[in-house]
Structure 1
C-alpha cells in the first residue's frame, strides 16, 4: 500500500484525495496549515457579508474524512527532502515532525502579490486569498474589535478580487476608493466596451473608482496601522484599511533552491509530473511546460484545479491521463451583473484583421453579448456574456466544432440559460449582425419557450 501525501486542502488537493479514494486503497494524508477542513474559497466574500457561515462553505460533513479514510493533518510543511521522500511538518501547537511519503502531490496554491510600497507591514494592509485573510479583515474593519473606526477604505488594483473587496466593504457601509492603474476596469482582460460598461456599473454603486491611478506611498497613522495613502495623481486619501488586489503568484518561494524545477510555478509535464520522481503538482501553483491548446502556462482558476485533481488521480490509479481542460471558460459577478466567458475573447483584437467581433449591449447598460469569429471562415472562437446566462455545454460544442457565425446567431436561443419569463435578446443580437451584413440577413430559428418575450 502506497502512502500518498497531499500538501494543500484546496479544491485541487481535495479533489485528488477524493478521486484516489474512490478508485483505490492507498493510504492518503492531506496536510494544510490554513483550516482543519476543506472549504469553498470562492465563498469568502459571502461569509464577510453575512450571507453564509464558515460551516455553509464546507462541501462535506466533518465525519466524511474519517469515514473515507482520508487523514487530515493541520500543520505547516517547513521542508521537503526529495531524495529520502520525507517531509518536515510543524503543527500549530507542537514540535516539528518528520513524515515519509511514497507519492507526493503539491497543491500549495498561490498568494497575493505585494509589490513595491505594498510590501509594508502596517496593520490594515492585506490581500484576500484564504481564511486567515478573511479573519484578519473581519477584525480590522470591526471598530469594537480593532479599536479603530474605518471611515474609508481603499482597494488597490482591479480584477475579480478587487471588485469583491469593494462589495464586501460596502456591505458594512464603509466608503471605498478603488484605485485601478488601467484606463478602464479590468481592461487587460475585457474589451473596451465591456470594460466601460462595468466601469459605469461600479460607479453607480457609489464606489470612488479612480482609473489610471496607483499608490505611491502608504502612511502610518502613528500606531503601526495605515492612516492614508498617496496616489500617483498626488492625492492623499485618509483610510484605515487597504485591500490589495494586484494578482497572485504561485506559492513556491519556500521550494526554491531545492531539486524541484520551478519558474513562475512548479514546472509539470502533460501528466502533471514534476522533474522529481513520484512528485506531482496541481492547482494554482502549477506552470505547464507545454500548455494545452488555447490555454496559458499558469491559470489560477477554481475549475482548472478541480480538473487537475481528477486527472492526476486517474494517472496514479494506473490509467495514465493527460491534462486536457478543454475550451477555456470563466465566470464572475460584478455587483449586479453576472459574467461568463467561453473560448478566446482577447481584450484587443489583432491588427492583422484575422478576427472579427460582434458586440451588442442593452440600453440599460447591464446586459451585453460579444461573439468573436474568424474572418477566413466565420468559425466562432469565443463569447462574452454579461447579464444573460449561457449554457456552457452549448458554447463548448459550438467552439469545438468551429460552428460558423451565421449558424450560431440563428440558433443563439439554444444557449440561453436565463430563468423562465426572462426577456430574451437573441433577436436584438441578430439585428446588429444583419445591420452590418444587409445583403445576407439571418433569421432566428428557435426561441427558448412560449413566454420568451415576457418578463424582465
Structure 2
C-alpha cells in the first residue's frame, strides 16, 4: 500500500484525494497550514458581507474525512527532502511519502512598496486573509484598493457592504483593459463609478504612509497625491506559492514546471493547481492558469494517472466567469482585448443602448469559425458555447441559434432580436434569421413574422 501525500487542501488537492479514495485503498494524507478542512475559496467575500457563515463554505461535513479515510494534517511544511521522500514540519517532525502531489496554491503579489509591511495592508487569497481583514476593517471609514482585476472588484464590493468609502486605484486607462476589449471595459468602468466607488484610472501606488504606530494611514501615488487609507487591499494578481521549493532539485520557474501528465522532473512527484507552470500548455491555454475549475480538472487527471491510466491534462475550451457588482460576466474561447484591423479575426459586438448588457463574438476571417465570446449582463449556457467553439461553428450558425445558448429564466427579457438586427445591419449581403427560438421564427432582419 502506497502513502500518497498531498500538500494543499484547495480544490485541486482535495479533488485528487477524493478521486483516489474512490478507487484505491492507499493511505492518503492531506497537509495544509491554512484551515483544518477544505472550503470554497471563492465564497470568502460572502462571509465578510454577511451572506454566509464560514461553516457554510465547507462542501463536506467535518466527519467526511474520517469516514473516507483521508487523513488531515494542519501544519506548516518547512522543507522537503525529495531524495529520501521526507517532509519536515514544525518541531522537526517528519512525514514520509511514496507519492507526493504538490497543490500548494498561490499567494498575493507585492512589489516592494515602502510601507507594505504596515498593519492594515494585505491581499485576499485565503481564510487567514479574511480573518485579518475582519480585524483590520473594524470601525474604519476609508479604504484604498490597489489593482484592477477580479479580486480588486471583490474587495471594493466587500468594503462597501460595510459602509466603508473606497478609493480604487487602477493603472490602466479603464478597468481591466488588459483583458477586456475597450467597449466592455468602458461599460464596467461606468458601472463601478455608479456604485459610488472613487475609481482613479491611470493611477499607481508609490508607497504607504505610517501613522506613527505601525499602521497604514495613507497611500501616496506616483504623482505625489496622498489618499487617506485606514486599510489597503492589494489586488495586483497572484503568484505560485513556491518560495520554499526554490532551492531544491525541483524544477521551477514562475511556477512548478510540469509536463502534459502533470509530472515534475522528480520521480513520484506531481504538481497541480495554481502552483503549476506547464512546459507545453494545451492549445489555447496559458502556462499559468490560476482558475478554480482548472485546478479541479488537474486533480481528476493526476488521480487517473496514479490509478494506473496515465492521462494527459486536457482542460478543453477556455472559460471563466465573474461578477462586477450587478453585471455578470462570462467568457468562452479566446477573446483578445484588441484585434488589429488587418488581423486573422474579426469581432461582432452588440451592446444595449441603456442597459449594462452586451455580447461579443470573435471569429476567423478565413472560414468564419467562432473562436471566442464575451457576454455581460446575460446568462449563457456553457456547454452550448464550448461545443460551438470546439466544432468551429460559423458566426452565421451561432447568430441563427442564439436562443439555444440562453440561460436566463423564462420571464427575463430576451435580446436575441436586437442582437440579430444589429448583425444583419452590419452584414446586409448575408443576413440570417433566428432559428429554434422560444419566441418563434424571425425574418432576415429580425422582425417577427
TM class by shorter chain equals over 0.9
Structure 2 residues without counterparts, runs of 5 or longer: 441-449
Contact 1:109-1:283 at 8 Å conserved across structures: yes
TM-score (structure 2 length as normaliser): 0.97
> 1:213 matched to which residue of 2?
203
TM-score (structure 1 length as normaliser): 0.95
Change over 3 Å in CA distance of 1:250–1:118 after alignment to 2? farther
The whole-number CA distance in structure 2 between the counterparts of 1:375 and 1:428 is 24
> 1:409 matched to which residue of 2?
399
Residue 184 (structure 1) aligned with residue 180 (structure 2)? no
> 2:444 matched to which residue of 1?
none
Superposed CA deviations along residues 15-67 of structure 1, whole A, max 9, x for unmatched, are 00000001111100000000000000000100000000111000000000000
Deviation at 1:217, TM superposition (A): 1.8
The whole-number CA distance in structure 1 between the counterparts of 2:114 and 2:186 is 27
Counterpart of 2:307 (choices 317, 320, 329) is 317
Deviation at 1:365, TM superposition (A): 3.6
Residue 116 (structure 1) aligned with residue 112 (structure 2)? yes
Residue 47 (structure 1) aligned with residue 47 (structure 2)? yes
> 2:138 matched to which residue of 1?
142
The whole-number CA distance in structure 2 between the counterparts of 1:319 and 1:448 is 44
> 1:130 matched to which residue of 2?
126
Counterpart of 1:285 (choices 275, 284, 294) is 275
Aligned length: 442
Contact 1:416-1:448 at 8 Å conserved across structures: no
The whole-number CA distance in structure 1 between the counterparts of 2:25 and 2:310 is 18
Larger mean CA deviation between 428-437 and 391-400 belongs to 428-437
Contact 1:197-1:365 at 8 Å conserved across structures: no
The whole-number CA distance in structure 1 between the counterparts of 2:179 and 2:223 is 24
Deviation at 1:118, TM superposition (A): 6.2
The whole-number CA distance in structure 1 between the counterparts of 2:210 and 2:114 is 13
The whole-number CA distance in structure 2 between the counterparts of 1:139 and 1:310 is 37
Counterpart of 2:254 (choices 258, 261, 264) is 264
Structure 1 residues without counterparts, runs of 5 or longer: 144-149, 451-456
Deviation at 1:119, TM superposition (A): 6.4
The whole-number CA distance in structure 2 between the counterparts of 1:113 and 1:119 is 15
Deviation at 1:362, TM superposition (A): 1.1
The whole-number CA distance in structure 2 between the counterparts of 1:228 and 1:25 is 56
Deviation at 1:351, TM superposition (A): 4.9
Secondary structure, counterpart of 1:117 in structure 2: coil
Counterpart of 2:96 (choices 95, 100, 106) is 100
Q: Structure 1 stretches (4+) deviating beyond 4 angstroms? A: none
Contact 1:190-1:346 at 8 Å conserved across structures: yes
The whole-number CA distance in structure 2 between the counterparts of 1:402 and 1:207 is 41
> 1:33 matched to which residue of 2?
33
Secondary structure, counterpart of 2:409 in structure 1: coil
> 1:396 matched to which residue of 2?
386
Superposed CA deviations along residues 141-195 of structure 1, whole A, max 9, x for unmatched, are 113xxxxxx2210000110000000000000000000000001100000000000
